[in-house]
Amino acid sequence: MTAGFPHHSRPGYYPPALSEELSTYVATMAAALVPGGAGYPSGREAQVGRFVAERASGQDAEVLAAVAQRWPAGSDAEATASLVAMERDDPTAFAYLRELVYHGYYSSRRVLAAMIDRGYAYHGAPQPLGYPQSEELLVPSARRGSYTETTEVSRVDG
């Protein structure tokens, strides 16, 4: 567990759960789902498989194993065919895998560098570091609501 910020989105929060085969499966599916181009890395080059492996829970491993069994990815061509069929025939599994891949992809330093090279002012996860902020934006311009101490609250019988 990462000291100072124990959160399931951080690497090492869960004990290693993905086998080498599942990590490779995720990397192959990530390359098919995000092929890269125009200066952006592919899902494999962005190391999505590693990202997911470092953060996957035991439950994630079980779900991914079931997905991998039903939708094989022994090659890039097979991964592409499986993704097309999965999106059509099993949208829940497709959405699950897509979410893992996209989260890993847009958390990759390589992808963030490509975005910054193109002028995007994005800093990646975890938020609130994602977009530039100023003190002016962080402080409300008008006071709204109120605060009552717990000891000052009394029961209202109606």
Residue 68 has pLDDT above 90, yes or no: yes
pLDDT greater at residue 120 or residue 6: 120
Spatial separation of the C-alpha atoms in residues 41 and 75, rounded to whole Å: 18
| Cβ–Cβ < 8 Å for 37, 7 | no
What was the pLDDT predicted at 134?
62
Spatial separation of the C-alpha atoms in residues 22 and 9, rounded to whole Å: 19
Residue 138 has pLDDT above 60, yes or no: yes
Residue 149 has pLDDT above 80, yes or no: yes
What was the pLDDT predicted at 3?
46
**pTM: predicted TM-score of the whole model, two decimal places:** 0.71
Domain extent listing, the chain: 20-117
Residue 8 has pLDDT above 80, yes or no: no
Residue 152 has pLDDT above 60, yes or no: yes
In angstroms and rounded to an integer, the radius of gyration of the C-alpha atoms of the chain is: 21
